[in-house]
């Protein structure tokens, strides 16, 4: 579990994170969503200590990361896996060297032990037989999977993914989402994902924190989001007419009621009403 308490961060005169609090649970995909510039990456970096917040506190497993000294923080960092936007693989290293990198940094294992673990995680992300390839020889989705393999190689308690779907087609994005979800459940990881991908929200959003101009505007899960009346959230997440219709149809299915002042005729047309429908 990760607790975020009253985090504030400003860059010169601009407040970027404004008093954000949240609890992120183990075995769940905790999403941070919001438009570009809303503060997702800065908040994630404040949580993992890559940016020092101006005030507030972050606790990992009940222990205050904020109050720890450098050595204590290193111990927590060993329990954190991070998938950076764009995967951030080392271009001059092969796939297996990239994945082995954290093991070289943080363990005293011998080569055979490290290779076994590398093969285990590459197998887990469905990337057998790519050991000797370089990042330039991989597709975008494969690079993300190598990034995930590297992020989980130390068996982390906490996994942070900044925009894991950026640059991927919707189908590959779904595969990556499912992989993150499976790994989260399988190893009971507290996973935090920054995204603005609507599919991710619906597929893996156990907990969703919606940031608007650095403030927590809404929080809930992917069921509650359908029923939310928060105007800013709805404008963001159900931006297109198509998605607005999809939301209303889902509400209609679940409640048997037409949700709001939008007319059913506007949604599906008067001649296409479902049998026994509205």
Ligand X SMILES: Nc1ncnc2c1ncn2[C@@H]1O[C@H](COP(=O)(O)OP(=O)(O)OP(=O)(O)O)[C@@H](O)[C@H]1O
Site for ligand X in 185-204 (CB under 6 A): 196
Q: Which does 34 bind (CB under 5 to 8 A by kind): ligand X, Mg ion, none?
A: ligand X
The one among 28, 41, 165, 200 contacting Mg ion by CB under 5 A: 41
Minimum distance, C-beta of residue 102 to ligand X, in the bound complex (Å): 24
List, as one string, the DSSP characters of the chain: -EEEEEEEEEETTEEEEEEEEEEE-TTEEEEEE-STTSSHHHHHHHHHTSS--SEEEEEETTEESTT--HHHHHHHHTTEEEE-TT----TTS-HHHHHHHHHHHH----HHHHHHHHHHHHHHTT-TT-TT--GGGS-HHHHHHHHHHHHHTT--SEEEEESTTTT--HHHHHHHHHHHHHHHHHTT-EEEEEE--HHHHHHH-SEEEEEETTEEEEEE-TTHHHH---HHHHHHHT-SHHHHHHHHHHHHHHHSS--SSS-HHHHH-GGGPPTT--
Is 239 a binding residue for ligand X by CB under 6 A? The answer is no
Which 29-68 residues touch ligand X, going by CB under 6 A?
A: 34, 36-42
Q: How far is the CB of 39 from Mg ion (least distance, A)?
A: 8
Task: Choose which of 2, 4, 7, 16 interacts with ligand X (CB under 6 A).
Answer: 16
Residue 16 contacts which entry, ligand X, Mg ion, none (Cβ below 5-8 A, type-dependent): ligand X
**163: alpha, beta or left? (left if phi > 0; alpha if psi -120 to 50):** left
Q: What is the contact mask toward Mg ion in residues 21 to 40, using x (rule: CB under 5 A)?
A: -------------------x
Shortest distance, CB of residue 45 to ligand X, whole angstroms?
Answer: 8
Least separation, in Å, of the C-beta of 165 and ligand X?
12
Residue 221 token pair = 């899960």
Write down the least CB distance from residue 84 to Mg ion, Å.
Answer: 10
- Provide the minimum distance between the beta carbon of 162 and Mg ion in the complex, in angstroms, as a whole number: 6
Residue 39's binding partner out of ligand X, Mg ion, none, with CB under 5 to 8 Å set by partner kind: ligand X
38 binds, among ligand X, Mg ion, none (CB under 5 to 8 A by kind): ligand X
* Residue closer to Mg ion, measured from CB, 40 or 247: 40
30 binds, among ligand X, Mg ion, none (CB under 5 to 8 A by kind): none
Residue 86 neighbours by CB under 8 Å, 6+ apart: 166, 167
Residues at the contact surface with ligand X, assessed by CB under 6 A: 11, 16, 34, 36-42, 196
Residue ranges that bind Mg ion, judged by CB under 5 A: 40-41
């Amino acid at each position: 579990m990760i607790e975020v308490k009253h985090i504030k961060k400003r860059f010169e005169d601009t407040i970027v994170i404004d008093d954000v609090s949240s609890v992120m649970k183990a075995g769940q995909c905790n999403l941070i969503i919001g438009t570009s510039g809303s503060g997702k990456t800065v908040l994630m970096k404040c949580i993992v200590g890559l940016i020092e917040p101006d005030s507030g506190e972050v606790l990992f497993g009940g222990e205050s990361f904020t109050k720890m000294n450098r050595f204590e923080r290193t111990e927590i960092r060993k329990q954190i896996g991070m998938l950076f936007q764009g995967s951030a693989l080392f271009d001059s290293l092969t796939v297996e060297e990239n994945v082995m990198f954290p093991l070289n940094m943080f363990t005293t294992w011998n080569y055979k032990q490290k290779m076994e673990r590398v093969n285990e995680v590459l197998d887990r992300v469905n990337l057998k037989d790519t050991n000797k390839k370089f990042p330039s020889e991989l597709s975008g989705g494969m690079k993300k999977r190598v990034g995930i393999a590297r992020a989980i190689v130390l068996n982390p308690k906490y996994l942070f993914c900044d925009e894991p779907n950026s640059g991927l087609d919707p189908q590959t994005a779904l595969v990556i989402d499912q992989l993150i979800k499976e790994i989260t459940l399988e190893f009971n990881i507290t996973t935090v994902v920054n995204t603005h991908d609507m599919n991710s929200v619906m597929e893996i959003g156990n907990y969703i924190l919606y940031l608007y101009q650095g403030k927590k505007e809404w929080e809930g899960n992917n069921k509650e989001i359908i029923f939310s009346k928060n105007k800013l959230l709805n404008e963001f997440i159900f931006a297109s007419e198509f998605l607005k219709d999809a939301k209303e149809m889902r509400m209609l299915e679940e409640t048997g009621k037409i949700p709001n002042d939008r007319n059913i005729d506007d949604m599906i047309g008067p001649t296409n009403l479902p049998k026994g429908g509205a």
